[in-house]
A and B are shown apart, each in its own frame.
Chain A
Amino acid sequence: MSITPEQPAALDRRTVLRRAAAVGMLATPAIGLLSACATSGSDKETEQVGGGTKSAANPLGVKEDAAIEVIIFNGGYGEKYATDVHEPLYKKAFPKAEVKHQSTQAVSTVLQPRFASGNPPEFVNNSGEKLMDFGALVNDGQLQDLTELWDAPSVDDPAKKVRDTVVPGTVEAGSFNGKPYVLYYVSTVFGIWYSGKLFKDNGWAPAKTWDDFIALLTSIKAKGITPYGYAGSNAAYYQWNVILTQAAKIGGTDVLKNIDNLEDGAWKQDAIKQAATAWAEVGAKFSDKSFEGLKHTDVQLRQNQNKVALYPSGDWLEGEQKQDTPAGFEYQLMPVPSLTASDKLPVTALRATAGEGYFVSAKSKNPKGGLEYMRQMLSVAGAKGFTEVVKAPTVVTAGSEGFAFPPGVASSQAALKAAGQDVFNLYFDGWYKELDTEARAATNELMFGRINADAFVERIQKRADAIKKDTSVAKFKR
């Protein structure tokens, strides 16, 4: 059809479009995004409920009919453990209290506005890709000091303090500058994972020395299987974890402590360069370039299909892959092999920590209720229930006794036992997110062959120095 000049429609259309363009010009995209969560005045104090009477059954003095709101990250562990185990436990102890439950996959999206408007929920499982920055929360006084909880008598044995019922290191893992703010609840062991069946079928054995490791990778490659790989698209930190674990074995745990404490030249320590050099070679010869573009679940799935032999991760891996793991696959953990004969730590040494962070909001209506919820979680019944639902061990020592773990977690628990005192952890990624981002980018560059070990340590060091100088970033020490 053609429109004759007498018809005003064409003109109208143009005018309308031109005006629309002007509006589009004003509505610049991203700036509005931010202001969506902007707030007018965020210093409102929430009125907190008073305490109840302290008693043997209520050592923290919780107000018995005060409501408590629980936010659970619905990720690898799901939310069933909260709705089926922990919340009923709280309800049983305080039948008059209302327990409000909410789960989310994007914690910060849901909670940021609530913190900003001074109305945070009592209890939060802060985890997943969109977790809130713990450092920022601590720095702002948003988190409840957990000292009172750790010193309270435990649910099962009033003679025992809660802190004595958990794995050593639990309280420290959630401490910032010496004060406990976060409960890390799930015992997590890191290592390199393989299929017990694949190894048995091929007569392969986990490697202890670096020479053995290279020989193992070579014979896997000869079978037409990609020997080693991690997902560059979103899980590069699985690999910096391996490099730093290796570095800690070479040079001792102070290597990691220096990194966490932002000591000058921490990343340029010789142990880190050696480890980076060794792993860059693995990346160049024994991995697949396409992995840089894949997500963690993609590479994990390839391992389940026996297309990848070795994969670095923590012991949540087995549970996460439950749907895709073929019968008889049999996950097994191998600690990172020793690089040299003069390594400071033995080959059994590994990184293990308490993972999956929970906190109580200091400025919520009923922080005492949040603490009590944690106390219930840390009871034997709470821990056992959690382990039964998600098949992962908790920090509660008595909680996993007599529990038959699936092969992967059983092997990581055995490795943890074998490690004895040689267990270490690192914290910089939780304290300084920007440093984590930089380490991830540099790790991809290193492992996929775009930079060498020197450039790797150089660029992360540069970012660490910048963070150290940045007065707007709160610093932590251990």
Chain B
Amino acid sequence: MRHGKYPFVIGFLIAPVALYVTFVIWPYAQAFWISMTNWRGLSAPQYVGFDNFRRLLDDGAFWKAIQHHGVLLLALPLITIAIALFFAFLLNVGGKSSGGQRQGVWGSKFYRVVFFFPQVLAVAIIAVLFQTVYRPNESGLINGVLMKLGLDPVLFLIRPNLALWSIIAVLVWQAVGFYVVLFSAGMASIPGEIYEAAEMDGASRVTLFFRVTLPLLWDTLQVAWVYLGIAAFDCFAIVAVLSIDGGGPDGATTVLAVEIYRNAFTYQKYGYASAMGVALFFLTITFAALTLRLTKRESVEY
């Protein structure tokens, strides 16, 4: 060990750690403190203990939001990963093999770029875009066509049991491209020899996918699942901009972040909103820990 190594390492670490503590850890700590107060954003907060959390238990909107997170947590990762895997498989190994190398379907380079487009757009823009897509009258992209054909318009964001799924569809649309690229990268790193050997043994494309691609992609899938789970706990911008009256109709699409925003910036109940934020924090962290624990398995070495 050379003398002066520690000062050197600490010198490098101190700036990022200080920044992280100031702009991430410290605001978090503050949010925990604010959640114990009835702060309304103006004068000094008053400590009220766990009052806000007790109120949460009786808050219908809070439970509705939790319920929606449950649906999102199942639907969003499942649908997104399924579609992204399918596309990635087609793009990378779905085509003919030439010279011992598996190829993607024809034009896969072009599709890869196209799939990534939604990721480039800002979320707010996507929400505004889909307002037009879903618009319930003849100026809507979908309903305009339907009405031209003499059909009744579909009230995508209006019918309470359809609204949440309309929003999930947007979230999936937006996310798929990124995971196609992610899985493509994962698939590209699977050695071609394995496919070659499997093919020689007479494996079909389906077998190839389930017996070779999927197991070797496990780590990447796990990461995707955690990412999408966290995305399912957010959804703020899409819901706030796209849904009727921010989480409507009548709370049918509301999520915690929207309720937090409403309580903080419409009702000016920062303490209560922080309590919701703390609840969201614990939900997210529990989810992430559980996912990582439950999906843990021996990674395949190759």
Which A positions have Cβ atoms within 8 angstroms of B? 1-5, 9-10, 13-14, 17-18, 20-21, 24-38, 40-43, 108-109, 112, 115-116, 130, 132-133, 136-137, 139-142, 232-234, 236, 288-290, 292-294, 433-434, 437, 440-442, 444-445, 448, 450, 472
Contacts and interface: CB of A to CB of B under 8 A. Distances in A.
Give the contact-size bracket for chain B: 35 or more
A303 to B, nearest CB: 14
A30 B42 contact: no
B174 interface: no
A42 B42 contact: yes
B219 A140 contact: no
B236 interface: yes
B136 A290 contact: yes
Nearest to A129: B266
Interface in B245-281: 245, 248-251, 256-257, 260-262, 264-270, 273-274, 276-278, 280-281
Contact of A34 (B233, B248, B264): B264
Q: What are the 3 closest A-B residue pairs judged by CB atoms, nearest first?
A: A35-B27, A290-B136, A31-B277
Given A5-B302, A24-B226, 8 more contacts: A28-B280, A30-B276, A30-B277, A33-B264, A35-B28, A136-B42, A440-B245, A444-B250
Contacts of B268: 108, 132-133, 136
Contacts of A108: 265, 268
A19 to B, nearest CB: 10
Contacts of B191: 2, 4-5
B34 to A, nearest CB: 6
A13 B187 CA distance: 13
Contacts of A445: 249-250
A31 B226 contact: no
Contacts of A42: 42-44
Contacts of B274: 31, 34-35
Contacts of A43: 43-44
Nearest to B273: A34
B19 interface: no
Contacts of A137: 42
B31 A34 contact: yes
Contact of A140 (B42, B273, B302): B42
A130 B44 contact: no
Contacts of B74: none
A293 B244 contact: yes
A13 B223 CA distance: 12
A294 B188 contact: no
Contacts of B185: 13
Which of B42, B155, B250 has the most chain A CB atoms inside 10 A of its CB? Answer: B42
Contacts, number: 192
A232 B245 contact: yes
A445 to B, nearest CB: 6
B30 A38 contact: yes
Interface of B: 24, 27-28, 30-31, 34, 38, 40-44, 48, 101, 134-137, 153, 155-158, 160, 185, 188-192, 219-220, 223, 226-227, 230, 233-234, 236, 244-245, 248-251, 256-257, 260-262, 264-270, 273-274, 276-278, 280-281, 284-285, 288, 302
Nearest to B134: A293
B245 A27 contact: no
B267 A434 contact: yes
Interface residues of chain A: helix, strand, loop or mixed (majority): helix
Contacts of A232: 158, 244-245, 249
Contacts of B30: 35, 38, 40
Nearest to B143: A290
A24 B288 CA distance: 10
A132 B42 CA distance: 11
A233 B243 CA distance: 8
A444 B248 contact: yes
Nearest to A132: B268
B223 A17 contact: yes
Nearest to A27: B24
Given A31-B28, A35-B28, A232-B244, A293 B270 contact: no
A236 B244 CA distance: 10
A34 B270 contact: yes
Given A31-B277, A444-B248, A25 B284 contact: yes
A21 B270 CA distance: 29
Given A25-B285, A294-B136, A441-B250, A32 B24 contact: yes
A370 B137 CA distance: 47
Nearest to A120: B42
B43 A29 contact: no
Given A21-B226, A30-B236, A292-B158, A38 B34 contact: yes
Contact of A32 (B28, B42, B251, B276): B28
A176 to B, nearest CB: 15
A234 to B, nearest CB: 6
A21 to B, nearest CB: 5
Contacts of A130: 265
B17 to A, nearest CB: 14
Given A26-B24, A29-B234, A441-B250, A140 B43 contact: yes
Contacts of B48: 472
Contact of A31 (B40, B265, B280): B280
B188 A2 contact: yes
Contacts of A115: 41-42
B31 A35 contact: yes
A31 B267 CA distance: 17
A4 B276 CA distance: 48
A20 to B, nearest CB: 8
Nearest to B235: A29
14 contacts: A2-B101, A5-B191, A20-B223, A25-B285, A29-B280, A30-B234, A31-B27, A31-B277, A34-B260, A38-B30, A38-B270, A294-B136, A437-B266, A472-B48
Contacts of A38: 27, 30-31, 34, 270
A357 B227 CA distance: 45
Contact of B284 (A2, A28, A141): A28
Contacts of A3: 188-189
Nearest to A29: B234
